[in-house]
Structure 1
């Protein structure tokens, strides 16, 4: 009888520890979406900054394996993104970009990008006569 109770207690503790571990990991990796002005004001870390890519602002630095570009958010505010990591494919085709990272001064430093490109399944617009 004691062995069954002991086993049940151990199982309960393991389940509680697993739930706690998953909860802590989720909270540590959760980050809010912010606007450019919110990011500048807060100087927040680990946030999602979404905007439209200004394609003529893309600059690659192959020595440091980084690139920089500007995005404009829905309010019209701009911010320079400094991205370090493997160069994203077809970034010039992007309609929206979400950079995940930290504000440092007037720049947003990111090591992860989420790129939204036009869907190949969307119909093309035909010229109307």
Structure 2
């Protein structure tokens, strides 16, 4: 009777581990270039920098529109339905998470890395 309980407990733990691993792996979004994003169906991440300083609202005023240059130098128009991220024009790096559709990258999320406002101070220490 005791061995049967242990077996059931181990089976439940194994099922939980398998389910957790599957859920985690399906939530991972790979970094790709724009050419790779065009060929993929699922959500991907493209890392790059602003191709131009022009970040505008779409004609309906419901989305932000800008050009992003990926790490291979390819450019694409990004459409992000949301408010314009603060400091996007000064960003040192932008990650757009979404899908390529109709010659545009439709971003579900934007991760904007701004330059640090804390600069390291170089100098000598006197003793």
TM-score w.r.t. length of structure 2: 0.81
CA distance in 2 between counterparts of 1:39 and 1:76 reads 14
RMSD: 2.1
Counterpart among 18, 26, 29 of residue 28 in structure 1: 26
Shift of 1:85: 3.0
Is the aligned partner of 1:95 residue 2:92? yes
TM-score w.r.t. length of structure 1: 0.80
Secondary structure of the residue aligned to 2:105 is strand
**Consecutive unaligned residues in structure 2, runs of 5 or more:** 122-127
Contact 2:90 2:114 in 1 (8 A): yes
CA distance in 1 between counterparts of 2:85 and 2:97 reads 14
Q: Decide whether aligned partners of structure 1 residues 85 and 5 sit closer, same or farther in structure 2, where only a CA change above 3 A counts.
A: farther
Shift of 1:87: 3.4
Is the aligned partner of 1:116 residue 2:113? yes
**Consecutive unaligned residues in structure 1, runs of 5 or more:** 125-129
Q: How many residues align?
A: 121
Shift of 1:62: 8.8
Q: Decide whether aligned partners of structure 1 residues 28 and 64 sit closer, same or farther in structure 2, where only a CA change above 3 A counts.
A: farther
Counterpart among 103, 106, 124 of residue 103 in structure 2: 106
Which protein has the bigger strand share?
A: 1
For residues 35-76 of structure 1, give each alpha carbon's deviation from its aligned partner in whole angstroms, at most 9, with x where no partner exists.
122223x14421111110135331124956321111012322
